[in-house]
């Protein structure tokens, strides 16, 4: 059996690595000259910059296991204790996110009436329709308008940069929907889940699986360490500058047509895994199956811009905490700012301060099409208003992702089920990647691992992904 993995992002690399570890031949075809996809780390003038993901939550056994297999787990670095605090810019000020229910009641994160409404969550009801709904609908029923617009909005922004009126509650925060189904109240569900986890831990019966919380982490050389280790382990099994242009069903499997360094090439494989963004998968699928292509194409993406600002030592005070998020009601282009040098001090040498602003998202897509100088100027202007930061940075770097984060809109899980059904017509063809079952690096690795393990069995089509 040979598996052709299309796309050399973290999903494709983790998948091919797992397959090869299981003794299955796998080749990765990556269109660009470098692997890693969204994961791109580079050093510049005393700073370690991440163009895409900044960190992963160290709570998934599969991510740690992957790092262990590759011999890089000792290079994992958890966030500094100074990153414990998190802030939300709301009602014109940065306000600390309370760390416990009593602290929440005393805090100024929401006005008093809205804090009391959140306590009223204990008496809230289940989704009357039982079908998928938007995250905002779920939020308003349980937490009220203001907590939804401030807290829930900030929570989703940190992962999806999305619009909670559009995002599917079930696909984006399945834990909340599970709490509602099983316990009616989200607060009761969370309390009981914590208690059960503590009891299981004390009894030593905690199942191997994702914990409820984990430490925000990276590697000593950034997330690129994981990608480099995967690329090294895969060696010649990764072919870069290999842009896949067509798929063809053959008598005994698949033929993959691609351009390799400008030359037409072909590869025969028993299985093909599309580990590319959904819109790329749609174009490759269209000549085979228009319906499947349309289903993939209906997964939208939110554009996002990343603006790194580096400040020479002593020019700005060390910012407190991991960073802050900005709910959409504040009307800013900045969605959030990561205090990178506070969280991972080794990413800024000699006392420098590094901030990374994330801008645009599903509700301000036009922001991302501005030119780089305009984006950097806007980030600085808004940082001045929100964080009082007036110093001039010694480093400015802007990265734009026109299709940054896939959006799991209402009905997403139904769409996936329909796609799985459709894929049964195409034995040996599989879809995976961040467009389907989780957008985080952890999700991508978990789903890649699942698919690799499933491929050890009989050849069946399946939508598996992050
Ligand atoms: C700005 C930003 C910040 C993020 N922050 C975080 C974070 O802090 N933590 C976290 O966990 N996640 C974060 N994420 C999400 C996470 O980075 C991604 O979901 C994940 O890296 C996606 O991996 P992937 O392999 O599925 O897809 P991709 O990284 O998109 O990889 C797909 C690959 O396919 C290749 N390709 C495309 N077309 C073809 C073709 N025709 N032929 C061959 N190859 C092709 C592409 O070049 C690419 O290398 C962030 C994402 C962005 C954009």
DSSP H helices, 120-274, are: 135-143, 145-147, 153-160, 169-172, 174-183, 186-202, 224-234
Question: How far does the centroid of ligand 1 lie from the alpha carbon of residue 18, in Å?
Answer: 18
Q: CB atoms < 10 A from the CB of 36, how many?
A: 23
Confidence at residue 459, expressed as pLDDT on a 0 to 100 scale: 36
Convert the pLDDT of each residue in 395-438 to its tens digit. 999 999 999 999 999 999 999 999 999 999 999 999 999 999 99
Range 314-319 average pLDDT: 96
Please state, in angstroms and rounded to a whole number, the distance separating the CA atoms of residues 417 and 430.
13
pLDDT tops 80 at residue 464: no
Confidence at residue 49, expressed as pLDDT on a 0 to 100 scale: 98
Residues of the chain with CATH 3.50.50.60: 2-38+223-299+408-463
Ligand 1: list residues with CB < 6 Å. 6-12, 29-32, 37-39, 52-56, 243-244, 275-277, 280, 304, 306, 401, 404-405, 433-434, 439-442, 444, 466
Question: How far does the centroid of ligand 1 lie from the alpha carbon of residue 149, in Å?
Answer: 28
Among positive and negative, which fits the CA dihedral 341, 345, 348, 353?
A: positive
State the closest ligand 1 atom to the C-alpha of 304, by its place in the atom list counted from 1.
Answer: 1
Determine the distance from the C-alpha atom of residue 337 to the mean position of all C-alpha atoms in its chain, rounded to a whole number: 16
Convert the pLDDT of each residue in 70-104 to its tens digit. 999 999 999 999 999 999 999 999 999 999 889 99
Continuous segment of H or E residues that includes residue 43:
strand 41-44
Please state, in angstroms and rounded to a whole number, the distance separating the CA atoms of residues 195 and 58.
21
Continuous segment of H or E residues that includes residue 376:
helix 372-387
Q: Which fold has domain 100-202?
A: protoporphyrinogen ix oxidase, domain 3 (1.10.3110)
Give the predicted TM-score (pTM) of the model.
Answer: 0.95
Q: Which of 266, 265, 249, 291 has its CA nearest to residue 459?
A: 249
Please state, in angstroms and rounded to a whole number, the distance separating the CA atoms of residues 375 and 358.
10
Q: What is the mean pLDDT of the chain?
A: 94
- Long-range CB contacts for residues 219-222, cutoff 8 Å, separation at least 24: 219/67, 219/72, 219/75, 219/76, 219/77, 220/75, 220/77, 220/346, 221/41, 221/48, 221/75, 222/41, 222/48, 222/49, 222/50, 222/347
Convert the pLDDT of each residue in 166-216 to its tens digit. 999 999 999 999 999 999 999 999 889 889 888 888 887 655 445 556 899
State the closest ligand 1 atom to the C-alpha of 283, by its place in the atom list counted from 1.
Answer: 41
Question: How far does the centroid of ligand 1 lie from the alpha carbon of residue 53, in Å?
Answer: 9
Question: How far does the centroid of ligand 1 lie from the alpha carbon of residue 186, in Å?
Answer: 32
- Closest CA to ligand 1's atom 26: 433
Confidence at residue 357, expressed as pLDDT on a 0 to 100 scale: 98
Instruction: Count how many Cα atoms sit within 13 Å of the Cα of residue 306 in the half-sphere of its side chain.
Output: 22
Confidence at residue 204, expressed as pLDDT on a 0 to 100 scale: 76
- Closest CA to ligand 1's atom 50: 53
pLDDT tops 50 at residue 462: no
Confidence at residue 110, expressed as pLDDT on a 0 to 100 scale: 98
User: Which 8-state DSSP code applies to residue 429?
Assistant: E
Range 114-137 average pLDDT: 94
Question: How far does the centroid of ligand 1 lie from the alpha carbon of residue 13, in Å?
Answer: 11
Confidence at residue 465, expressed as pLDDT on a 0 to 100 scale: 38
pLDDT tops 60 at residue 350: yes
φ/ψ (deg, to 5) at 4: -95, 120
Range 57-77 average pLDDT: 95
Residues of the chain with CATH 1.10.3110.10: 100-202
Please state, in angstroms and rounded to a whole number, the distance separating the CA atoms of residues 431 and 273.
6
CATH 3.50.50.60 correct for 2-38+223-299+408-463: yes
Ligand 1 pocket test, candidate residues 27, 38, 442, most atoms within 8 A of CB: 38
State the closest ligand 1 atom to the C-alpha of 280, by its place in the atom list counted from 1.
Answer: 38
Confidence at residue 211, expressed as pLDDT on a 0 to 100 scale: 54
Question: How far does the centroid of ligand 1 lie from the alpha carbon of residue 36, in Å?
Answer: 7
Question: How far does the centroid of ligand 1 lie from the alpha carbon of residue 32, in Å?
Answer: 13
């Amino acid at each position: 059996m040979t598996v052709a993995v299309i796309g050399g992002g973290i999903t494709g690399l983790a998948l091919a690595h797992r397959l090869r570890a299981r003794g299955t031949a796998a080749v990765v075809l990556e269109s660009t000259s470098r692997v890693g996809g969204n994961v791109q780390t580079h050093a510049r003038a005393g700073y370690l910059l991440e163009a895409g993901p900044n960190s992963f939550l160290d709570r998934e056994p599969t991510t740690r296991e992957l790092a262990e297999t590759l011999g890089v787990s000792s290079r994992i670095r958890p966030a500094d204790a100074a990153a414990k605090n998190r802030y939300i810019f709301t009602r014109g000020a940065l306000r600390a996110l309370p760390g416990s229910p009593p602290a929440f009641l005393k805090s100024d994160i929401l006005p008093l009436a809205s804090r009391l409404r959140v306590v009223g969550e204990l008496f809230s009801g289940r989704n009357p329709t039982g079908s998928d709904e938007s995250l905002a609908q779920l939020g308003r029923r349980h937490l009220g308008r203001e907590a939804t617009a401030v807290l829930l909005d900030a929570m989703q922004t940190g992962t999806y940069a999305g619009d909670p009126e559009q995002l599917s509650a079930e696909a984006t925060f399945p834990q909340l929907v599970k709490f509602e189904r099983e316990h009616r109240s989200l607060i009761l569900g969370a309390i009981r889940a914590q208690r059960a986890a503590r009891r299981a831990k004390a009894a030593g019966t905690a199942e191997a699986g994702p914990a409820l919380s984990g430490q925000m982490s990276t590697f000593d050389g950034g997330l690129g360490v994981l990608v480099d280790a995967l690329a090294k382990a895969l060696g010649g099994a990764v072919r870069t500058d290999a842009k896949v242009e067509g798929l063809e069903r053959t008598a005994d499997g698949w033929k993959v047509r691609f351009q390799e360094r400008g030359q037409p090439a072909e590869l025969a494989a028993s299985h093909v895994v599309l580990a590319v963004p959904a819109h790329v998968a749609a174009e490759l699928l269209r000549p085979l199956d228009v319906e499947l292509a349309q289903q993939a194409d209906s997964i939208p993406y939110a554009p996002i811009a990343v603006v790194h600002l580096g400040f020479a030592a002593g020019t700005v005070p060390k910012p407190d905490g991991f960073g802050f998020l900005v709910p959409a009601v504040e009307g800013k282009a900045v969605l959030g700012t990561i205090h990178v040098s506070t969280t991972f001090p080794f990413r800024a040498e000699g006392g420098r301060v590094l901030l990374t602003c994330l801008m645009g998202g599903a509700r301000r897509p036009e922001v991302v099409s501005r030119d780089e100088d305009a984006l950097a100027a806007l980030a600085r202007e808004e940082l001045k208003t929100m964080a009082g930061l007036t110093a001039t940075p010694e480093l400015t770097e802007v990265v734009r992702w026109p299709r940054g984060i896939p959006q799991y809109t209402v009905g997403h899980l139904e769409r996936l089920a329909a796609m799985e059904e459709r894929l049964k017509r195409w034995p040996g063809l599989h879809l995976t990647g961040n467009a389907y079952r989780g957008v985080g690096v952890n999700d991508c690795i978990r789903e890649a691992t699942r698919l690799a393990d499933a491929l050890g069995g009989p050849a069946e089509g399946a939508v598996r992904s992050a």
